[in-house]
Structure 1
Amino acid sequence: MELSLLVCLNLLASLIFSGGQTLECHQGQWQCDDGGCIPNGWKCDGQGDCLDGSDEIDCTGPPGSIDCPLGQFPCVDSVGCVDVSARCDGQKQCPTGSDEENCPATEGCLDSDWTCRNRICIPKELHCNGQNDCMDNSDEEDCDLCGENGVRCPEGTCVSAAERCDGQVHCSDGSDEPITCGHMCSMNNGGCSHVCTDEPWGARCTCPAGYKLSPNGAVCEDLDECAAPLSPCVHHCSNTIGSYYCHCREGFKLNGSSTCLASGNNTQLLMVQRRALGLLNVKSRQVEAIQTAWFDPVALAFDISRGWYYWADTQGSIYKRGGRQTWTVYTGEPGIKGLACDWLNGYLFWTNQKTESIYMQAADGKSFTTLLSKNIRPSELVLLPVESLMFWINAGPGDRVTLEKSWMDGSERSTLVVITAQSAHSLTADVAARRLYWISDFKRSIETVKVDGTGRTSLTGLFGTQPAIGLAVFEGWMYLADVKGLWQVPQNQPRQKKFILKAELPLIAAYHELQQPQGSSACVKTPCHLCQLTKGNPLGFTCACPVSKVLLPSGTCEIPWCFINK
């Protein structure tokens, strides 16, 4: 490294530390000499990720390996080197296969899931529940069939009528040996707290609505309806003894017992029909034209409070419309797949499948930065700025596909759901419900999960012979687009769908001010050129700079003089 460049980088590092711009790195991260933080796995991987290159200094091969040129991985317990890009690619290049050892998961489900034969992942509680959740029925194979008087154990096995009340516990919760074995209803109601029915083996106890039978088989205890994967309430659910009640987020009003209706303007759908962008008023069915694109749009986004509309085309350009003006805010590689707005701060985020990166652009459209570009192959993208969260569908190593989650600065990335083999697309969110939704072509279903990873549910029976091509969700309504047109489907009664528009709509998005609720932002009074929301930092944000610039203690972004003079 040239002396002038080394001096420059050391100076930058000291400035960053002295200015207090960097806090301690989080668990699982390594701190660069310049104060930056990178994941532990990026240290000594042959690619310089720290500004000062300190993550690739003093790197030695594993014990017993030979020295390899920069950018190559040394085989362990054998002679040879392979390109870093070939490490963990699913194919063994080293004689002992060491280039495929200690790699991130490339297949399989989360620990909380059960793996189907077709490699689809379902929640473990759906295994042996009597329904074909895997679509190949593998989750119901080797499950004992329960006869009329059999007992289904929590682990999915079935205890026969002959084994019930035989004095031996077969179920993990002991439900096959209730305390009412040998009892009669004529004596003390058989020991039941509520309804009692005589059976050959003893007294069978049953419960009224809102209650469930405890494992001891005698006492009825409260059923927590709110704990169901898909709550009966669209927004908030509060359990009560024997029942529950729903309440709504600010700006919504409870309609009936479970539905939350939005106040303010009528619900609209931002949509693309052929190359024309427009707004469909769901109630009146009237369409307001916005813009006709030169090339086919591949992604849509909007910032409703600022009156901005965005779309990306097949050529790699992103356009913005505000008022009566339309202009190009970005031109780059084709491959853009997802667009999303940070409506609290006016920033634009997008994914590119060709460059395998997530990008962020300033509100003025004059600068952008690369947010994530390593170990990532993103497609659809969703932001939830009120929670500082970012979600995207990611194609991992092999054929693994996941729904990923991180803060909006890209930190603390984790897998929310494994969706391998689902043919998933059209990722969207009902912001008020804090739920994500997507279409599974293989399962012919709409899949949903809460933003914290709980409440995963499959909504089936929605599609006929025509595949779905677009999805939007708001107020407990799902809007499905297929080759015939647009359908409106109530989430709590998915089979009661209604046809509302004859048009082919490949892109749709729920357009309402409550889909982008306003709130305080940690970025409001920061000096950052690009401010990224995060709850991984006590300040609530991370400062970032456009490509080729570095962050100074003052919060400004400058091109280092050593790079200018180099």
Structure 2
Amino acid sequence: MSSSSHSLLTPFIQKESNMGWQNQGWLFSASLVVFWASVRSIRREEFFPFGPSAGDQLLESGDDQTFRLTLSKPVLFYDGSFDSLYINTNGFVATKEPLNESTYLGKLPPEFGAMAPLHGDLDTSDGVGKVYFRQDNSPDVLRQAAEHINRGFPEEDEVNPINTVVITWVDIASHKPQTRGDGRNTFQLVIASLETASYAIVLYARNGIQFTSTLVEDNGVVMHAGFSQGLVKGFFYSSQGNYYRTTTDDEASVRALAEETNSGLRGVWVYGIGTSPQFRNVVPGVVTDLPAETVDTQQHTDGQVKYSPAAEQIEINPLRYQPQNPEVVVVEDPEINVDVFSYNLGSCANNRNKCSQFADCRDYASGFCCHCRPGYYGNGLQCVAEGKPQRMNGKLRGKVFVENSPSPVEFNGNDLHSYVVVNDGRSYVAISDIPTSVGPSLMPLLALSNVIGWVFALEQPGFRNGFSIIGGEFTRQAEVTFQPGNEKLIIRQEFEGTDELDHLVVSTTMDGRVPAVPPGSTVQIDPYTDVYQYDSNLITSSSTRYYTVTNPDGSVETRSYQCRETITFQSCQHDESLRDVTTQMLKVDQIFVLYDVNNNLLRYAMSNKIGDVNEIWSKTHFNNNAVLENPCFTGRHGCDTNAVCRPDQGSQFTCQCASGFSGDGRRCYDIDECTENQQICGPNAICNNQPGTFRCECEDGYQFGSDGRTCIVDRPVDHCEDGTHTCDIPDRAQCSYTGGSSYICSCLPGFVGDGRICQDIDECQPGRCHQNAVCVNTQGSFLCQCLPGYSGNGVYCSSERTKTRCEAHRDNVLSTMEAHPRGARPPISQYIPECDENGNYLPMQCHGSTGYCWCVDRNGLEISGTRSAPSSRPMCIDHNTVTPTVGPWPRPDVIAPPPGTNLLFAQSGRIEHIPLEGYDMKKHDAKAVLHLPEKVIIGVAYDCVEKMVYWTEITSPSISKASMLGGEPTAVIRTDLESPEGITIDHLGRTMFWTDSMRDRIEVASLDGSQRRVLIDTDLVNPRAVIADPVSGNLYWSDWNRDAPKIETSHMDGSNRRVLVKDSLTLPNGLTYDSQSSLLCWADAGTHKMECMNPSRGDRSTVLEGIRYPFGMTSFGKTIYYTDWQRDAVVSVDRYAEKETDEFQPQKRTRPYGIAAAYPQCLSGQNYCSVNNGGCTHLCLATPNGRSCKCPDNAVAVGCVEKRKHL
């Protein structure tokens, strides 16, 4: 138990242990469960027709045979169109002829384009295995292909293919003689094409995958399936294209091909593999749910159960228990995930490592199951020692309203700890940091904690607690309805198994409303019983719980609530004996609840027993028919807490120390396995003793092998690079390599989830679009579309207006279009003007046929000297934008912001400005000041001396500048950059600083880029924001290294580097410094917080919580402005009021990046570089008490002098 959980629970256990036993009563109801049986896999006979009777050609027998098939209709694959395909023995189809198999076997992805239904080193030279192929456009085959595709993409328009290519690998064996006879594989690939799209349909027959790996250079390599684009030619060199892998390096993923689906039919998989004219990546089918065969669910409701005396047996149907008030529980929550763990078909020979180290693997006719060894209990995947106390740790999140309160109390990761003395069924739960506004009202909510009592309940003879049946991985949802106010609360808990310390891990969310309990009240909960109905992968219960509230004035109220529970899990279906459990009753008494107002702790304690619904538990007749309970089943045995109680005849019993402990059972002591057997962990491993067990840890440079026990040399694998990660598809998630063999999955903006499963967020909330527009939700985003009769971008819609000069010019050209078989098209030599959303000429115009581009003025007239060749693009200033005004600077003692201040922010291929009026954004006057098509601008900075805006961009990595008073953009630095991001200006020393997140360094240069020097290039992983404080001579930057994010500072010459903030950071993106208040502020996209601190004092404080995905930020007086990727907006925050005050969403709804404040006059202040360049020959870099003269990195024998001056 961790020290924190121990401190939470220990005093509660001591205080509560003095309570006496309480009277017990019971009330239960039960539920009928409707369940479904899974369907069978597809048979070979249900493949597309194949063989000589279907008109197939036969690939020549051999080990590595290839045949070029010329197509009557082209196949679209990724962004290419192919008139021929190459059929290969080794389970793939290529878009160009592959070289000898030695060039690609075991070397993934291949350099050629490939569709691989199941790729490995295969052989047909024995005459048994065959590879058939043909083209087919017969109606029956086209109809069969359409059925599979349309079933896999039910939300898309129906497709009707016009041609197919059918390739079938039948009874294929592995090539190497060592594996000959181990099995044969049968699978089929069908490529179905339309005019503008192609699909792949892959079929795997039942029992069609009999081996999952082949030998390559005498090493076993798992076969793989997927789609590879191959090498893609670039301007200077070729690079590996997209690679969509449908299996992993785990053999279980290969077997799953015949057992699972993405098209609604087991063993059948569909993918969109190419479209014209544009294509992003392979798109899988979306129907992973299987159609069902209905199981008889006849309900017997013509009778009622009567509650009988304890000595009277209740007749009960073990499959359909009928309570007094029967009801059917229908699981409607789509978020309930039963795929906690998936048993795959196979044998123990290949799956033994999936069982607990305290379990044995047992083969059955249909697969394998894991069973805990004697002395342990669990589901075989997780096993714990009998009699050993158990612990549970987790976090609590959610929102709870108290009675009629208009605002909820939020929980953001409150600690939840539990301790269970298993041999007497006593459980203790403590939750920390519960506010006094809700703490007393949560005391009756035993439903929050009683699941741990069921998991480790004291077992009566012949009955099993939750952990014995389903282990520690399951999902629980409880719906609580309070009476008489009808308040409702939903509790959802994800049990994630045990951690390295064998502690159960749980994540809890709680949302809803509870009735108020006055502060200072006490709550007593009556004993109760819960009847649990067990079925395959589903457990349900329903009960009513009564409690008494004693108010501070002495008045007493009796209240109640109903609790309905649903527990979903994944069981092993291969062992028939595991299906015997149908109905059990949990008896809960000795309930104690307390809200510790001094420590803000919520505490629960209860005793739990699981047994027969007839409630005659473990009683034997004694002497003259008296009934005596065995102490093992009452918990009154006196065994050590680390011992198991073994019942004997009558009231006799023995105490036996749990595994990993020694003693007489009354007193048990931990066995130090590491000392007794110093070789217990094997070579290259370290033994770490734990209470009741031990833990093996690999030495540095080693990692556990596939058996989970042997330490082997650590060879890091970048799963993100080779496609073996478990993240969602690239359209929804991002895989981030974190070093070693580790990686992090995160959902892209517009999606929510854990990164492995990401779901689209419906952004169409009220107010998203204009009142005369409709909101359309899309994958990862949304669209605003003006209603008929209105024009605009959907965010703002106005009634149809008179066409502008540009629109009239454009429409006049389009009206002269020539007729064309594929629709009207303009003449080849005709230029069509491009207009922006307001009808103005875009600053850059291009000829659609020739590719030449040029800049135009506001009237659409070409600006002389700007025309560029097709291979380049001019950088054009938007002449429709009003230049920000410049006004006088107020007296130094005036706090109010000066007039003429603007915000500059980057958004895709443009820089926009928002005028400020005071601190308010004049949103209606916001416009673009600079258009840079096809560029991705990241960082923005402003030089107040020359009225110049500087920016970084990453498409063709460079740093550029342009005058705010008009003029052409100028590239300042173009070389030796990879991903320049943050940028800041020292207007006094006339230098600029920037970060490069690919080169992992911070650099400085003069404003014309002529003098360049690397300041910091060590211990940086993902540097992003950088801010200079020229007056004080300090530099600040953020590094969002996912393993160790931090905010650092140094002098502007790079000296005196130190970490300012490293705790409670995740993704520190934005950074800003306010010289008037001396506050450094940052925004974190991981913690969703905005925080500030005085760097000289370290007094860190939170300004705002709950922000979504901040990127850039800047400060202006009391207001902080930041850009948000999820809101596609610029947001203003009042630092004093600690709240958001406004937001601006540009008409172009794309991600906003860097942001800077453009002052009409420079702020007052000076440093030692502001006069005569500080006396330096080259770079003058300020420090808090002086300056450093530094040479640029390329200054060799040019008379550069380095020196440092302190004052």
Q: What TM-score, normalized to structure 2?
A: 0.25
Following the alignment from structure 2 to structure 1, what is the Cα–Cα distance between the partners of residues 968 and 995?
25
2:961 corresponds in structure 1 to 320
Aligned: 1:296 with 2:945:
no
**Residue deviations 1:336-357, cap 9 Å, x none?**
1211111112101111111111
> Residues 336 and 384 (structure 1 numbering): CA distance in 2 closer, same or farther, change over 3 Å?
same
1:521 corresponds in structure 2 to 1168
Aligned ranges 1:245-256 → 2 under 5 Å:
251=891
Aligned ranges 1:97-176 → 2 under 5 Å:
135-138=412-415, 158=598
Deviation at 1:278, TM superposition (A): 2.8
Following the alignment from structure 1 to structure 2, what is the Cα–Cα distance between the partners of residues 550 and 388?
27
Deviation at 1:496, TM superposition (A): 5.4
Amino acid at match of 1:382: I
Aligned: 1:272 with 2:906:
yes
Aligned: 1:387 with 2:1032:
yes
Aligned: 1:287 with 2:930:
no
> Residues 379 and 554 (structure 1 numbering): CA distance in 2 closer, same or farther, change over 3 Å?
closer
**Residue deviations 1:467-490, cap 9 Å, x none?**
334433212112243325333332
> Residues 311 and 419 (structure 1 numbering): CA distance in 2 closer, same or farther, change over 3 Å?
farther
Aligned: 1:330 with 2:973:
yes
> Are the equivalent residues in 2 in contact too, given 1:143–1:157 (CA < 8 A)?
no
> Are the equivalent residues in 1 in contact too, given 2:1038–2:1048 (CA < 8 A)?
yes
Deviation at 1:389, TM superposition (A): 0.3
Deviation at 1:368, TM superposition (A): 0.6
Q: Secondary structure at the match of 1:481?
A: strand
Following the alignment from structure 2 to structure 1, what is the Cα–Cα distance between the partners of residues 1086 and 1133?
20
Q: Structure 1 stretch 286-295 or stretch 381-390: which is displaced more?
A: 286-295
Amino acid at match of 1:325: E
> Residues 144 and 502 (structure 1 numbering): CA distance in 2 closer, same or farther, change over 3 Å?
closer
RMSD of the alignment, in Å?
3.8
Deviation at 1:416, TM superposition (A): 0.8
> Are the equivalent residues in 2 in contact too, given 1:297–1:313 (CA < 8 A)?
yes
Aligned ranges 1:65-464 → 2 under 5 Å:
135-138=412-415, 158=598, 251=891, 260-262=895-897, 264-283=898-917, 284-285=922-923, 286-287=925-926, 289-294=928-933, 295-314=935-954, 315-322=956-963, 323-331=966-974, 332-377=976-1021, 378-394=1023-1039, 399-419=1043-1063, 421-461=1065-1105, 463=1107
1:92 corresponds in structure 2 to none
Selected match of 1:481 from 1115, 1118, 1123: 1123
Q: Secondary structure at the match of 2:413?
A: coil
Following the alignment from structure 2 to structure 1, what is the Cα–Cα distance between the partners of residues 1140 and 1194?
54
> Residues 443 and 336 (structure 1 numbering): CA distance in 2 closer, same or farther, change over 3 Å?
same
Deviation at 1:444, TM superposition (A): 1.9
> Are the equivalent residues in 1 in contact too, given 2:1036–2:1049 (CA < 8 A)?
yes
Following the alignment from structure 2 to structure 1, what is the Cα–Cα distance between the partners of residues 1103 and 1112?
15
Structure with the higher strand share, 1 or 2: 2
Following the alignment from structure 1 to structure 2, what is the Cα–Cα distance between the partners of residues 360 and 443?
31
Amino acid at match of 1:475: G
1:56 corresponds in structure 2 to none
Deviation at 1:431, TM superposition (A): 2.8
Following the alignment from structure 1 to structure 2, what is the Cα–Cα distance between the partners of residues 354 and 290?
29
In structure 1, runs of 5+ residues without a counterpart are 1-116, 119-131, 150-155, 161-248, 255-259, 558-566
**Residue deviations 1:59-90, cap 9 Å, x none?**
xxxxxxxxxxxxxxxxxxxxxxxxxxxxxxxx
1:506 corresponds in structure 2 to 1153
Deviation at 1:380, TM superposition (A): 1.2
**Residue deviations 1:78-115, cap 9 Å, x none?**
xxxxxxxxxxxxxxxxxxxxxxxxxxxxxxxxxxxxxx
> Are the equivalent residues in 1 in contact too, given 2:1072–2:1082 (CA < 8 A)?
yes
Following the alignment from structure 1 to structure 2, what is the Cα–Cα distance between the partners of residues 429 and 550?
36
Q: Structure 1 stretch 140-149 or stretch 406-415: which is displaced more?
A: 140-149
Following the alignment from structure 2 to structure 1, what is the Cα–Cα distance between the partners of residues 1089 and 998?
28
> Residues 429 and 498 (structure 1 numbering): CA distance in 2 closer, same or farther, change over 3 Å?
same
Following the alignment from structure 1 to structure 2, what is the Cα–Cα distance between the partners of residues 480 and 391?
17
Deviation at 1:556, TM superposition (A): 8.0
Amino acid at match of 1:313: E
**Residue deviations 1:503-559, cap 9 Å, x none?**
453322222257744424345231330111113xx6x111111113258987389xx
> Residues 494 and 373 (structure 1 numbering): CA distance in 2 closer, same or farther, change over 3 Å?
same
Deviation at 1:280, TM superposition (A): 1.3
Following the alignment from structure 1 to structure 2, what is the Cα–Cα distance between the partners of residues 554 and 424?
37
> Residues 144 and 336 (structure 1 numbering): CA distance in 2 closer, same or farther, change over 3 Å?
closer
2:367 corresponds in structure 1 to none
Following the alignment from structure 2 to structure 1, what is the Cα–Cα distance between the partners of residues 433 and 905?
46
> Are the equivalent residues in 1 in contact too, given 2:1046–2:1065 (CA < 8 A)?
no
Deviation at 1:401, TM superposition (A): 1.2
> Are the equivalent residues in 2 in contact too, given 1:523–1:531 (CA < 8 A)?
no
Q: Secondary structure at the match of 1:386?
A: coil
Amino acid at match of 1:546: P
1:544 corresponds in structure 2 to 1190
Following the alignment from structure 1 to structure 2, what is the Cα–Cα distance between the partners of residues 133 and 551?
64
Q: Secondary structure at the match of 2:969?
A: strand
**Residue deviations 1:426-447, cap 9 Å, x none?**
1122232221222222322212
Following the alignment from structure 1 to structure 2, what is the Cα–Cα distance between the partners of residues 433 and 250?
18
> Residues 306 and 133 (structure 1 numbering): CA distance in 2 closer, same or farther, change over 3 Å?
farther
Following the alignment from structure 2 to structure 1, what is the Cα–Cα distance between the partners of residues 1063 and 938?
22
> Are the equivalent residues in 1 in contact too, given 2:939–2:1153 (CA < 8 A)?
no
Higher relative contact order, chain-length normalized (CA < 8 Å, sep 6+):
1
> Residues 427 and 288 (structure 1 numbering): CA distance in 2 closer, same or farther, change over 3 Å?
same
> Percent identity of the aligned residues?
20
> Are the equivalent residues in 2 in contact too, given 1:358–1:372 (CA < 8 A)?
yes
> Residues 523 and 467 (structure 1 numbering): CA distance in 2 closer, same or farther, change over 3 Å?
closer
> Are the equivalent residues in 1 in contact too, given 2:1003–2:1016 (CA < 8 A)?
yes
In structure 2, runs of 5+ residues without a counterpart are 1-393, 396-408, 417-429, 441-518, 521-595, 601-888
Amino acid at match of 1:306: E
Deviation at 1:253, TM superposition (A): 5.5
> Are the equivalent residues in 2 in contact too, given 1:429–1:436 (CA < 8 A)?
yes
Selected match of 2:1180 from 515, 528, 531: 531
Q: Secondary structure at the match of 1:528?
A: coil
> Are the equivalent residues in 2 in contact too, given 1:435–1:448 (CA < 8 A)?
yes
Q: Secondary structure at the match of 2:1031?
A: helix
**Residue deviations 1:5-31, cap 9 Å, x none?**
xxxxxxxxxxxxxxxxxxxxxxxxxxx
Deviation at 1:309, TM superposition (A): 1.2
Amino acid at match of 1:292: H
> Residues 545 and 252 (structure 1 numbering): CA distance in 2 closer, same or farther, change over 3 Å?
same
Amino acid at match of 2:1158: Y
1:84 corresponds in structure 2 to none
2:627 corresponds in structure 1 to none
> Are the equivalent residues in 2 in contact too, given 1:523–1:541 (CA < 8 A)?
no
> Are the equivalent residues in 2 in contact too, given 1:143–1:158 (CA < 8 A)?
no
> Are the equivalent residues in 1 in contact too, given 2:945–2:1162 (CA < 8 A)?
no
Deviation at 1:424, TM superposition (A): 1.7
1:213 corresponds in structure 2 to none
Following the alignment from structure 2 to structure 1, what is the Cα–Cα distance between the partners of residues 1197 and 597?
60
Q: Secondary structure at the match of 1:333?
A: coil
> Residues 133 and 414 (structure 1 numbering): CA distance in 2 closer, same or farther, change over 3 Å?
farther
* Number of residue pairs matched by the alignment: 325
